[in-house]
Amino acid sequence: MNRSEGISVICTVDVVLLTLHGGQLCVVLLKRERPPFQGALALPGGYIHPEQDQDAVDAAARVLLDKTGLASPYLEQLATFSGPGRDPRGWSVSIAYYALVPQELLRRDTTAAQVLPVEGLPVLPFDHGRMVAAAVARVRSKSQYSSLPVHLCPERFTLPQLQAVYEAVLGEPINKVSFRRKVEELDVLEPLPGELEQGRANRPAQLYRLRPQYRRSLSLLERGIGARS
């Protein structure tokens, strides 16, 4: 007799939703409404609906919209987590994604959500702690050579604001001249004609936005942000 007969596999998606708050890289956690781990803080996640979802990324986008109200932020597959011990309900597999979103777009009409720094998180249920750690490592690595952190910016931003975002993600200062040269090389920004940041004590700064073609994709550098070239 096949020992696997009668055993069903739980298939879910989970999303590590990252944002910036108070100059720190943070993750959005929600209180679980049902067992197991009811009331515990966890990542937004849910079952794949085969009759509704075309693929796993479709399921992740649906879950994110249902749980947070966010429609299609930057979303990228992270890794697959699986095994008999990660979920008390049985053998399970979760396809994990990570998403980046400006804090201004987070829904504010839910008391169940908490935005916590990625450093020093409480123990999370399932293997969500591993997912957060993997997502943070991926984001910090890709931020060294790509336009990824731009997705944490509001719709309009200045170059000093963008540099502050990169520094918050990477956890280290970046040379201003080198950074601006790398931003020009990435070529993902377009200036907003005649629009300057107001209310500054010094010279007003030009406002930029992300070019439409890079709202779902990244631009890559041959050498990292910190490289002196």
Instruction: Kindly list the domain boundaries of the chain, sorted by start residue.
Output: 10-142, 149-214
Q: What global pTM score does this model have?
A: 0.92
- For the segment(s) 10-142, the CATH number from 2.60.60.20, 2.40.50.140, 3.40.47.10, 3.90.79.10 is 3.90.79.10
Q: What does the pLDDT read at residue 203?
A: 81
Q: What does the pLDDT read at residue 197?
A: 87
Residue 212 CA: distances (Å) to CA of 11, 162, 189: 34, 17, 9
22 φψ region: left (φ > 0), alpha (ψ -120 to 50), beta (else): left
- For the segment(s) 149-214, the CATH number from 2.60.40.1180, 2.40.70.10, 3.30.1240.10, 1.10.10.10 is 1.10.10.10
Phi, psi angles (nearest 5°) of residue 151? -75, -5
For residue 144, the one-letter residue type is Q
Tell me the average confidence (pLDDT) per consecutive run of 10 residues in the chain, 229 residues long: 66 97 96 95 97 96 94 91 95 97 78 88 97 98 97 96 97 96 97 85 88 93 75
Q: What does the pLDDT read at residue 111?
A: 59
**How far is the C-alpha of 16 from the C-alpha of 25, rounded, in Å?**
12
